[in-house]
């Protein structure tokens, strides 16, 4: 498998680690859209949300526990932040390994979707 995020988790591709535990790895986005922009990925490969089923649904708990840790570690927990999961091509997913964006560091993050 040639997955960028698997390569990052395995240390084959460099990243700036923000948080790590036995289930997830969190690192700074290389093209941040906000002052704080961290990606959280499960260490087990899941292509997208559609691969999360009841038997492995604990991966979502692992991801969202990490969101709380990342918000605390980056200093955005109290002011607020945005959590985004892009799923599928139409949802804007470009790396085929489920991941959570944690974004903050501004007083106003603006509208979530730009109307055309």
Q: Is the residue at 113 inside a domain? A: no
Q: Which stretch of DSSP H or E encloses residue 33?
A: none
| Residue 111 domain-assigned (yes or no) | no
Kindly report, residue by residue over 21-36, the tens digit of the pLDDT. Answer: 999 999 999 999 999 9
Total domain count, the chain: 1
Q: What is the pTM of this model?
A: 0.94
User: pLDDT (tens digit, 9 = 90+) per residue, 97-114?
Assistant: 999 999 999 998 988 776
Digit-coded pLDDT (tens) for 46-90? 999 999 999 889 999 999 999 999 999 999 999 999 999 999 999
Does the residue 59 lie in any domain?
yes
Does residue 45 have an active-site annotation?
no
C-alpha distance from residue 25 to each of 54, 91, 108 (Å): 22, 22, 27
Catalytic residue among 37, 97, 99, 101: 99
State the CATH number of the domain containing residue 70: 3.30.428.10
Residue 77, CA atoms < 13 Å, CB-side half-sphere: 11
Q: Please enumerate in sequence order all residues whose Cβ is within 8 A of that of 40, keeping only pairs 6 or more positions apart, or say none.
A: 19, 24, 25, 26, 63, 66, 67, 70, 99, 100, 102
Query: Within a domain: residue 109?
Result: no
On whether residue 29 sits in a domain, the answer given is yes
110 assigned to some structural domain: no
Q: Is residue 115 part of a domain?
A: no
**Residues of the domain holding 43:** 4-104
């Amino acid at each position: 498998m040639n997955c960028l995020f698997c390569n990052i988790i395995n240390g084959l591709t460099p990243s700036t680690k923000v948080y790590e535990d036995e289930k997830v790895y969190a690192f700074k986005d290389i093209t941040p859209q906000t002052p704080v922009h961290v990606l959280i990925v499960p260490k087990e490969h899941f292509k997208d949300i559609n691969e999360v089923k009841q038997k492995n649904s604990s991966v979502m708990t692992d991801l969202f526990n990490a969101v709380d840790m990342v918000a605390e570690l980056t200093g955005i927990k109290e002011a607020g932040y945005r959590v985004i999961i892009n799923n599928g091509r139409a949802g804007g997913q470009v790396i085929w390994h489920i991941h959570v964006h944690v974004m903050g560091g501004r007083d106003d993050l603006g509208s979530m979707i730009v109307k055309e």
